[in-house]
Amino acid sequence: MQVPAPFEYARATSVADALELLERHGPEARVLAGGHSLLPMMKLRLARPDWLIDLGDLAELRHLIRDGDWLRVGALTTHADLLASAQVGRLLPIVHDAERVIADPVVRNRGTIGGSLGQADPAEDLSTVCDVLRARVVITGRAGERVIGMEEFHRGPYETACEQHELITEVRFPVRPRSGSAYEKVERRVGDWAVAAAGAALVLADDGTIADASIGLTALGLSGLATDAAAVLLGTHPSEEVFAEAGRLAAAASSPVEDQRGPVDYKRHLAEELTRRVLRSAAERAGAGALTAVQGG
Amino acid sequence: MTAVEHRPANPAATSADRPIGFGRIQRKEDPRFVRGKGRYVDDIVLPGMLHGAILRSPVAHARLVSVDTTEALAHPKVHAVITGRDLEGLNLAWAPTLSADVQAVLATDKVRFQGQEVAFVVAEDRYAARDALELIDVEYEELPPVIDARRALDPGAPVIRDDLAGRTDNHVFDWEAGDAAETDAVFAAAEVVVAQEVVYPRVHPAPMETCGALADYDPVDGTLTLYETTQAPHAHRTLFAMVAGIPEHKIRVISPDIGGGFGNKVGIYPGYILAVVGSIVTGRPVKWMEDRSENLMSTSFARDYIMRGEIAATREGRILAVRTHVLADHGAFNATAQPTKYPAGFFSIFTGSYDLQAAHCAVTGVYTNKAPGGVAYACSFRVTEAVYLVERMVDVLAAELGMDPAELRLRNFIRPEQFPYRNKTGWEYDSGDYEPAMRKALEMAGYDELRREQAEKRARGELMGIGVSFFTETVGAGPRKHMDILGLGMNDGAEVRVHPTGKAVVRLSVQTQGQGHETTFAQILAEELGIPPEDIDVVHGDTDRTPFGLGTYGSRSTPVSGGAVALAARKVRDKARAIAAAMLETRPEDLEWEKGRWYVQGDPSAGRTIAEIALGAHGTVALPEGVDGNLDAEVTYDPPNLTFPFGAYVCVVDVDRGTGKVRVRRFVAVDDCGTRINPMIIEGQVHGGLADGVGMALMEFIGFDEQGNCLGGSFMDYLIPTAMEVPDWETGHTVTPSPHHPIGAKGIGESATVGSPPAVVNAVVDALAPLGVRHMDMPCTPARVWAAMQGRATPPI
Ligand SMILES: Cc1cc2nc3c(=O)[nH]c(=O)nc-3n(C[C@H](O)[C@H](O)[C@H](O)COP(=O)(O)OP(=O)(O)OC[C@H]3O[C@@H](n4cnc5c(N)ncnc54)[C@H](O)[C@@H]3O)c2cc1C
């Protein structure tokens, strides 16, 4: 049994209470959501908070609400909640694609969207999904709430705009007509973190051309979206040729590092291959007709 | 075919017509496991118990300058801190390994692998023990490590084992088998010769339960009770007596429920010894239970064989000879568990299932700055490596000849009339009938149809592979004149007692880690005596309650202890005959046996059941001369030979051309383990072994960086397969009993682990064949498969 260093524990009763506890216990206090990132790090003694503020009772942060053109997801919504929601599957298919390949059912039952974004691991799938869907994050502090875009939220590996004394309380996804999205990941084994993954979302104009596009990569050393790759798609009809070009540009934008999961050339190859694949399914889901077939993966 | 084949198939198991003897019955031990009532070492709590934790080296090779324990000792919950210096005083700093080397219990001079034991803390609880490790201040003076086994013998390579007098290199042993000159001559004259380096990388058994011990030394009467995760309680007791100087009769080793062993729990780890020392020092029971990373980083690994193979054949596909040179990485201490005369285990079974004219192998063992071990993981003493080599080489040859790999195997099998068959490295294969097993597997797989499907897919550019392997194992060590471990002959005992009411107990020297001994051994006794399995208690895992023997590994329980149980039962049967004759007032020769009962020839109604005889034996029946008043017997079984299970496996994979990801679509396994005692348990053993095999073929691997940092130290890095990576297993069997084993059983524990990796890798290579790939090494991860597709396959080490 791996055992953490000593720590104190408090259970928050409300968002306000959690914020107060954070302030009272100072900079070495950390909030605990599903615990599936934080507890393993504590057991390995890579994280040593003095205080754990458990958010587990905050039912107010566990919701999924359609609100006009937005889908509002409470920070404590679990992977399993997202996967169980038919509405999420219909409106944001990329979320279900990703959730099916995040960890395993045990982890998905407890791990939360707020914890995933809060952890900001470079191989974490939901960050890419949120990037691609241009989600907005609600951060709550003692002074009130602010709503920021992912580009502002993300500050690099394991770093976000959510300060130590603040909470991520909600993630808001825009719901857009004639849109389609998809995610694909290569893993060494079910439940493993990504060797590499890609996500894409497309919005089609009435004439069937691509009106908006976003492409994100996971574990491939790209922060934010692959904007050059998305740019070549705008105004074009979905086709294998233009997706191949976007794939090449996404690969060029990636800067993977070699590790046990694979060498750089392979990962760069995956950036291209997976970008093409997710663009294909995103286009199909957005209602584009059959693509002109091109030989290859 | 034998009588065994004709036993009626027994339906599973809950009804009144459960078989009394062999057949499909549910496992007697499972109710406690499925209800969470198993009792493992870590479940045992003794009054006053303390907890130990080990401080381990963060570096692979360094001189130990100083170990300062002052602050740790000042921790309010710490009772003792033990260092290598302290152990030196007790003459316990070094312990003998199972391979006649020594291993540091706690480092004194140097650390030799990352994760090596440096100090031991005993504290009130596990948390405090762990906290106190951080208070120990160790100064290391780093030395260049030897990580690449290929460089271990370079002149000028750092000498790892300078503790051994006169050591100037990292050489452990050279060993060979077969006739080199004869083999070279066959190669020189052969029409076709193909060579291939085949690497079986370092993997780990990773049992669900990690290793641990709870030592309880009683200073008053000098007895030591030691609860341990061990596959070999008796061997451990004897070795503890030899090492620690505690008299053997004062030591009791208890191995309670064990959560998987796979060879990982054969050796004696420093932690076990430290728990004992901790208990002696503090006068309180001390528990030490390693965590997952400690298990992966410091306990017995498996494999790590770099094999250069060559195979010689005629153009028509007659295989003539195989030869190989192996570089074996043994880590920092030679701690493999092999029979003394076999430093490379039974690797010389690499001649496989084929009738060869010549064969030769040479194995060189080297030290490196990595964790010691090598016994582990359904290893059958290196049969796994041997089978992998020959089965990969046959496929390489098939590719060279442009022949179908199944056909090539069928042409070269040892023929049934050649058994018992003496191979070119000295083994006598007891029995075999290979072609029917192979044909059965091909038929179950629909081999011809699969090849047609493959041709269509290839025409479309899709990658589908079909892999075949055929293995022969040598298991059930072994005859004491050839096989011992540290001088202890590899025999095992069984003790049978039939109680006055006809219920029975059988006591075993072997120890289950999940194999189902409590059921299988009850069934052997049931078969021999006609006592229902549910009326038989199987006792094992406690040296005070069982006879001596070497334990469970290398698929030896049924071949060795199973033989002992059958023979002890037959002694009981003979004794029952004499007592029944006295009860029936007739002569023993006039009695006939039917399962469970002796009766008078020609008068079946006049007879006595085993229960009646048992009551008679313990009662007032006037016993014949020389027969004492019980129905007990004891046997220590010395097998005349090993047994040679075999099997034919077919694996079908699909490879994603764009990502290199392999999916195992189907797996057909036809096994022949001789007499089948409980088909359900056999299938369970096969399923587990196949999952192991898929894991090793596709993902399992313990790598090291250049500094010797272990890259497989957690389940995030060391991947084992889940239900999602394995297909539905399709199993079948043939039955070719062992002619020398009392019930004809050969052992099944490791067959699937041995036979499946080559089937999977052969399938992956077959899938990549259109891209010109002829070989790739395990593990076939997406990245490595993709590299192979680009013509850039590399060995993993
Ligand atoms: C075996 C395993 C496999 C996994 N595989 C994957 C995978 O393939 N892909 C993947 O994406 N993830 C994977 N994960 C991670 C999983 O998704 C985690 O659940 C998730 O990353 C963290 O969510 P959590 O709720 O458990 O967060 P916690 O562990 O509770 O917290 C993580 C961090 O976020 C902070 N935090 C949590 N909630 C908030 C909040 N509301 N506001 C501010 N800060 C907060 C915490 O203080 C902590 O620093 C895996 C985890 C495990 C154990």
What's the pLDDT tens digit per position in A157-175? Answer: 999 999 999 999 999 999 9
Per the CB < 8 A criterion, the answer to whether B331 and B113 are in contact is yes
The neighbouring-strand residues paired with B539 are: B507
Query: Which regions of chain B carry the CATH code 3.30.365.10?
Result: 416-476+643-797, 491-637
In a domain, A95, yes or no: yes
Residue A7 has pLDDT above 60, yes or no: yes
Query: Are B781 and A295 in contact (CB < 8 Å)?
Result: no
Q: What are phi and psi of B500, to 5 degrees?
A: -55, -30
Q: Is B639 on the interface with A (CB under 8 A)?
A: no
Structure token digits, residue B215: 């030592």
Query: Are B783 and A266 in contact (CB < 8 Å)?
Result: yes
Strands (E), B279-403: 286-289, 302-313, 319-329, 358-366
Q: Could you identify the atom of ligand 1 that is nearest to the CA of residue A75?
A: 41
Q: Which of A174, A205, A238 is the last residue of a domain?
A: A174
Q: Quick one: A63 and A166 in the same domain?
A: yes
User: At A19, which CATH number?
Assistant: 3.30.43.10
How many domains, chain A? Answer: 3
Query: Are B711 and A260 in contact (CB < 8 Å)?
Result: yes
Indicate the burial class of A257 (C-beta count within 10 angstroms; 0-12, 13-18, 19 or more): exposed
Secondary structure of chain B: what % helix, strand, coil (to 5)? Answer: 30, 25, 45
Residue A296 has pLDDT above 80, yes or no: no
* Pocket (CB within 6 angstroms of ligand 1): A 30-38, 40, 55, 75, 102-103, 107, 110-112, 114-116, 118-119, 124-126, 162, 167-168, 191, 193
Instruction: Round to whole Å and give the CA distance between A91 and A79.
Output: 16
Query: Are A260 and B658 in contact (CB < 8 Å)?
Result: no
Q: Which of A23, A39, A54 is the last residue of a domain?
A: A54
Q: Is A149 on the interface with B (CB under 8 A)?
A: no
In a domain, A140, yes or no: yes
Question: Which residues, 6+ apart, have CB-to-CB distance to B35 below 8 Å?
Answer: none
Mutation test residue for ligand 1: of A31, A97, A163, the one with most atoms within 8 Å of CB: A31
Q: Quick one: A48 and A78 in the same domain?
A: no
Q: What are phi and psi of A33, to 5 degrees?
A: -105, -105
Range of the domain at A248: 179-286
Q: Is B3 on the interface with A (CB under 8 A)?
A: no
Q: Quick one: A148 and A67 in the same domain?
A: yes
Instruction: Round to whole Å and give the CA distance between B70 and B56.
Output: 18
- In three-state secondary structure terms, B428 is strand
Q: How far is the CA of A35 from the centre of ligand 1 (A)?
A: 6
The separation between CA B552 and the C-alpha centre of its own chain, rounded to angstroms, equals 8
Q: How far is A270 from chain B (nearest CA, A)?
A: 7
Of 1.20.1250.20, 3.40.50.740, 1.10.260.40, 3.30.365.10, which CATH number belongs to B416-476+643-797? 3.30.365.10
Q: How far is the CA of B209 from the centre of ligand 1 (A)?
A: 26
**Closest to B783 (Cβ–Cβ): which among A1, A263, A296?**
A263
Q: How far is the CA of A176 from the centre of ligand 1 (A)?
A: 28
Per the CB < 8 A criterion, the answer to whether B548 and B636 are in contact is yes
Query: Are B659 and A193 in contact (CB < 8 Å)?
Result: no
pLDDT, tens digit (0-9, with 9 covering 90-100), for A175-185: 999 999 999 99
Instruction: Round to whole Å and give the CA distance between B665 and B680.
Output: 23
Beta strand B319-329 with B358-366 is parallel
- In three-state secondary structure terms, B188 is helix
Q: Quick one: A169 and A145 in the same domain?
A: yes
**Closest to A189 (Cβ–Cβ): which among B461, B656, B722?**
B722
In a domain, A292, yes or no: no
pLDDT band at residue A292, thresholds of 50, 70 and 90? low
Q: Is B711 on the interface with A (CB under 8 A)?
A: yes
Q: Quick one: A189 and A265 in the same domain?
A: yes
Using the CB atoms, write b or e for A124-137: b if 16+ within 10 Å: bbbbbbbbbbbbbb
In a domain, A204, yes or no: yes
In a domain, A3, yes or no: no
Taking CB atoms and an 8 Å cutoff, what residues of chain A touch B719? 188-189, 192
Q: Quick one: A48 and A77 in the same domain?
A: no
Query: Are B717 and A260 in contact (CB < 8 Å)?
Result: yes
Per the CB < 8 A criterion, the answer to whether B102 and B43 are in contact is no
Structure token digits, residue A190: 């079910």
The separation between CA B101 and the C-alpha centre of its own chain, rounded to angstroms, equals 21
CA-based max dimension of chain B: 86
Interface subset of B 746-765, CB within 8 angstroms of A: none
Beta strand A70-74 with A196-204 is unpaired
Among B655, B682, B689, which Cα is nearest to B757's?
A: B689
Residue A1 confidence (pLDDT): 80
In a domain, A271, yes or no: yes
Cis status, amide bond into B478, omega within 30 of 0? yes
The angle subtended at Cα B383 by Cα B378 and Cα B387, nearest 5°, is: 115
Q: Quick one: A222 and A121 in the same domain?
A: no
Residue A295 confidence (pLDDT): 42
Q: Is A269 on the interface with B (CB under 8 A)?
A: yes
Instruction: Round to whole Å and give the CA distance between B336 and B377.
Output: 12
Among B694, B647, B690, B645, which Cα is nearest to B442's?
A: B647
DSSP secondary structure string for all residues of B194-217:
EEEEEEEEEE----SS--EEEEEE
Residue B110 confidence (pLDDT): 98
pTM of the entire structure? 0.96
Q: How far is A260 from chain B (nearest CA, A)?
A: 8
- The alpha-helical segments, DSSP class H, found in B345-491 are 383-401, 405-412, 434-445, 447-459
Q: Which of A118, A152, A174 is the last residue of a domain?
A: A174
Q: Quick one: A69 and A155 in the same domain?
A: yes
User: At A214, which CATH number?
Assistant: 3.30.390.50
Per the CB < 8 A criterion, the answer to whether B374 and B434 are in contact is no
Order the strands of the B62-68 sheet from edge to edge: B110-111, B62-68, B137-142
The neighbouring-strand residues paired with B56 are: B117
Q: Quick one: A136 and A197 in the same domain?
A: no
Beta strand A70-74 with B729-733 is unpaired
Q: Quick one: A26 and A130 in the same domain?
A: no
The neighbour count for residue B775, using CB atoms within 10 Å, is 20
Per the CB < 8 A criterion, the answer to whether B361 and B325 are in contact is yes
What is the fold, at CATH topology level, of the domain defined by B491-637? Answer: Aldehyde Oxidoreductase; domain 4 (3.30.365)
In one-letter notation, the amino acid at residue B511 is: Q
In a 13 Å sphere around the CA of A154, the CA atoms on its Cβ side amount to 24
Q: Is A143 on the interface with B (CB under 8 A)?
A: no
Query: Which regions of chain B carry the CATH code 3.90.1170.50?
Result: 43-146+221-280
Structure token digits, residue B512: 């289950």
Residue B245 confidence (pLDDT): 85
In a domain, A294, yes or no: no
Q: Which residues of chain B carry a pLDDT beneath 70?
A: 1-17, 374-380
Residue nearest to atom 21 of ligand 1 (CA): A116
Please give the mean pLDDT across all residues of chain A. Answer: 96
Of 1.20.120.340, 3.40.640.10, 3.30.1360.120, 3.90.1170.50, which CATH number belongs to B43-146+221-280? 3.90.1170.50
Per the CB < 8 A criterion, the answer to whether B304 and B328 are in contact is yes
Q: Quick one: A32 and A123 in the same domain?
A: no
Q: Quick one: A134 and A229 in the same domain?
A: no
